[in-house]
Amino acid sequence: MLTVYRWMLCLYPWSYRDEFGEEMTSVFHEARSALPSALAAKISFYRREFCGLLSGALCAHFDRRFGPAIPFPRFDMQPQFRFPRSTVFLMLVIFAGVVLTIAKASSVAGDTLGLAWRSLASVLVFVLLSTCSVAAVVWGILHIRRRSGVHRLDRQLRDHRPVDPDCAFGASSNGSS
Amino acid sequence: METFALSEPVLLVLLSLAEQPRHGYSILKDVESMSGGRVLLSTGTLYGALQRLLNNGWIERVEEEETPRDRRTYRLTTRGLRNLQMEIERMRHLTKMAALRTARKEA
């Protein structure tokens, strides 16, 4: 299992792996050694570890590519919310695919509901496209804002305050880290 | 004063380091113990939090020559301690207000 864990560490960016890889492997090894013999505890441990690794690797890549200046900093550190932000989009795509497949199957089989399915599918595709457009616009605004250096100015202004709110984990911070 | 809120795992990691410098596994066990077994951090989550705390200067590595690379120790910085105290103050205010409101409701 340690080999699998080491292999999964390869999912992280190289710099992250270089900095924390050995420590993470060592901590995993210690935690595994201290596991109780109950099967349920073992399953729960491995599930937690591998889900944590997968979401951690995705977050590390995301942070490296787009910077940590994306909102929802409070959710970032909560294991139950540590899923990639593209999940919602992918789920919508999969859902639309399933609906379209059902609609196609219904029409091929001469189902009387075929027309209704086609209408529903059209509406869903329209909603999906609208959502993606809005998401792209919001992402573009965030990206341009980040590139424009506004966040650096904000950070400088904050650094001159007596209280230090330069916090990646603050609910009301700008998401900088 | 600008208010902010820490997530529970990060708060527990900081509280763990506030007591004494610790290495990864020690933090993991201490967080589990402090939360009564409710918060079980995975190594991915723990090191994700540690990386961000390090980048923000809230914690730092204890530089010791004889410390092996796979067992490095972390400690809270002055900045981290100050922010932790602010968070504790925020929570104190929140619980005080909650107690007042619920007492008023009961009365």
Average pLDDT of the residues of chain A = 73
| Window from A91-105, A159-173, B34-48, B92-106 with minimum mean pLDDT | A159-173
Q: Quick one: A86 and A148 in the same domain?
A: yes
Q: Quick one: A58 and A92 in the same domain?
A: no
Q: pLDDT category, A151, cuts 50, 70, 90?
A: low
If you write DSSP's letter for every residue of B79-98 in order, what string do you get? HHHHHHHHHHHHHHHHHHHH
- CB contact (8 A) between residue A30 and residue B83: no
- Domains: count for chain B: 1
Q: Is B89 among the domain residues? A: yes
pLDDT digits (tens, 9 = 90+) for B43-77: 999 998 899 899 888 999 988 777 777 788 999 99
**The tokens of B59 are what?**
């914690």
Chain A neighbors of B8, CB-CB under 8 A: 78
Range of the domain at B64: 8-106
Range of the domain at A176: 70-177
pTM of the model: 0.59
- Amino acid A71: pLDDT: 46
Q: ipTM exceeding 0.90?
A: no
Q: Quick one: A52 and A9 in the same domain?
A: yes
* Helix (H) / strand (E) containing A113: none
Nearest to A31 among B7, B25, B56 (CB): B25
- Amino acid A163: pLDDT: 45
- Domains: count for chain A: 2
Q: Quick one: A23 and A87 in the same domain?
A: no
- CB contact (8 A) between residue A53 and residue B44: yes
Q: Is B69 among the domain residues? A: yes
Quote the CA–CA distance of B93 and B106 in Å, as a whole number. Answer: 20
How close is the nearest chain A Cα to the Cα of B28, in Å? 9
- Considering only residues A44 and A172, tell me which one the structure prediction assigns the higher pLDDT: A44
Instruction: List strand residue ranges (DSSP E) for A65-159, in order.
Output: none
Q: Quick one: A104 and A51 in the same domain?
A: no
Mutation target for A interface from B12, B14, B43: give the one with most A CBs within 10 A.
Answer: B43
- CB contact (8 A) between residue A52 and residue B10: no
Q: Is B81 among the domain residues? A: yes
Q: pLDDT category, A6, cuts 50, 70, 90?
A: confident
CATH of the domain at B81: 1.10.10.10
Q: Quick one: A18 and A89 in the same domain?
A: no
pLDDT above 80 (res B20): yes
pLDDT above 60 (res A156): no
pLDDT digits (tens, 9 = 90+) for A15-62: 888 888 899 999 999 998 988 888 888 888 888 898 888 888 888 888
Q: Quick one: A55 and A40 in the same domain?
A: yes
pLDDT digits (tens, 9 = 90+) for A57-98: 888 888 777 766 444 444 444 444 556 667 777 888 888 888
Listed residue (B96, B92, B106, B56) closest to B76, CA to CA:
B56
Q: Quick one: A51 and A95 in the same domain?
A: no
Nearest to B48 among A23, A25, A56 (CB): A56
Are the beta carbons of B17 and B75 closer than 8 angstroms? yes
- CB contact (8 A) between residue A20 and residue B46: no
Q: Is B1 among the domain residues? A: no
